[in-house]
Amino acid sequence: MSLDLIPRTAYNEDHEAFRQTVRRFLQEEIAPNAEKWGDDGIVPKSIWPKAGELGMLCPTVPEEYGGLGLDFGYNAIVDEESSYYGRVATGFSLQSDIVANYLVSYGSEEQKKKWLPKMVSGEVITAIAMTEPGTGSDLQGMRTTAKKDGNHYVINGSKTYITNGQNADLILVCCKTDTEIQPAWKGVSIVLVEADREGFKRGRNLDKIGQDEADTSELFFEDVRVPITNCLGEEGKGFIYLMSELPQERLSIAVGAQASAQKAFDDTVEFTRERKAFGKPILDFQNTRFTLADIKAKLQVGWAHLDWALSRHLRKELTPEEGAAAKLWHTELQWEVMDKCLQLHGGAGYMNEYAIARAWRGARVTRIFGGTNEIMKELIGRKL
């Protein structure tokens, strides 16, 4: 089953041609391996260059750095199709939608030339390390430090819940380069740390309730020395950079949530049409039809809003509050759809052999990462 392409206003013919490439990749490269990767708890690094060959990684990177110089719509299509397929969280979106933008926007010429071509090809896998064991959405409260020692930083601290943590070759580490300055956000910088640096260690691949194949990890930094030239952009501007890039990250989450919700709905319609109770299909019961009709109406609204937000973002007009609102609304819709669709599966919905069970587990995190939905409400509320 494929994502039913109702007329979309955010995309053009080139976008839709690219969509077919993404679908073939998912069918040929991801589908045959999904179950094994879930059991292994990690997607192998070998799949990344295959995605890179097809232009699926970091499509917005300018041509002079090895990319295709395309718009975010191509990223969104990868996100939509991958989320609609639903069985594997590859980590591609973290690299394409988030990390690449930081390097393009704030990286030095040397950093761009060194890292971006390898990110586009899939030779290098990246992560961004924000969250710490004692701090979640409060980035100003981070304790990881990068202290100057001659022409180097010495980094100490730990991070947790880091996507691509086991596979990453390069980590963008959010840390305090000034622990005395007030307000605290002025002391935050982003420093590039190569995974082969002495003193850097990966912790365990964390045991999650969903997205079993995603390598989400703890990272430790013990006197890790990196040259000062590894600072991304200006020292002390890290928090500003983070705030500037979050609207795209949150829109990316909204895109995935909407497509995931659509997949759950489509699967449930098919299930209730085939499964019988009291001698007739479950779909013939009014409660089932009304529940699904309500979901269908909300999904229709969701796609219209998503195209509005995507179009705004492609014109560089999407505000931080609008990005937060998109993340809030679409992930809340995703959870509502997942829960109702699982209920319509009855006992089968509680069995991991059914797609709805895996989707339901995997969806729970979207209201948490990228900033919790409670924080989204706070961000929107501040501008009232």
Rounded average pLDDT over 210-235 = 95
CB-based contacts of 131-138 (< 8 A; 24+ apart in sequence): 131/159, 131/160, 131/161, 131/162, 132/157, 132/158, 132/159, 132/160, 133/158, 133/160, 136/372, 137/371, 137/372, 137/375
- Among 124, 155, 189, where does a domain finish? 124
Query: What is the DSSP secondary-structure string of 356-376?
Result: HHHHHHHHGGGGTTTS-HHHH
State pLDDT tens for residues 39-69: 888 999 999 999 999 999 999 999 999 999 9
What b/e string do you get for 196-214 counting C-beta neighbours within 10 Å, with b at 16 or more? eeeebebeebbebebbbbb
Whole-structure pTM value: 0.93
Give me the domain span that covers residue 105.
Answer: 13-124
Residue 234 has pLDDT above 90, yes or no: yes
Domain assignment present for 4: no
Domain assignment present for 28: yes
Give the pLDDT score at 379.
93
Domain assignment present for 1: no
What b/e string do you get for 140-165 counting C-beta neighbours within 10 Å, with b at 16 or more? eebebbbeeeeebbbbbbbbbbbbbb
- Count how many domains the chain has: 3
Give the pLDDT score at 175.
95
Residue 5 has pLDDT above 60, yes or no: no
Does one domain contain both 80 and 108? yes
The CATH number of residue 135's host domain is 2.40.110.10
Rounded average pLDDT over 158-172 = 96
Residue 249 annotated among the catalytic residues of the structure: yes
Does one domain contain both 188 and 287? no
Does one domain contain both 62 and 166? no
Residue 180 has pLDDT above 90, yes or no: no
Domain assignment present for 364: yes
State pLDDT tens for residues 274-308: 999 999 999 999 999 999 999 999 999 999 999 99
State pLDDT tens for residues 105-155: 999 999 999 999 999 999 999 999 999 987 766 677 789 999 999 999 999
Does one domain contain both 249 and 370? yes
Does one domain contain both 132 and 217? yes
- Among 219, 236, 253, where does a domain finish? 236
Domain assignment present for 6: no
In whole angstroms, what is the distance from residue 38 CA to residue 33 CA?
Answer: 9
SS3 annotation, 53-120: HCCCCCCCCCHHHCCCCCCHHHHHHHHHHHHHHCCCCCCHHHHHHHHHHHHHHHCCHHHHHHHHHHHH
- Among 124, 149, 181, where does a domain finish? 124
Flag the least confident range among 183-187, 227-231, 342-346: 183-187
Q: Is 384 exposed, middle or buried (0-12, 13-18, 19+ CB in 10 A)?
A: exposed
The CATH number of residue 335's host domain is 1.20.140.10
User: Of these residues, 109, 249, 321, 378, which one is catalytic?
Assistant: 249
Does one domain contain both 54 and 147? no
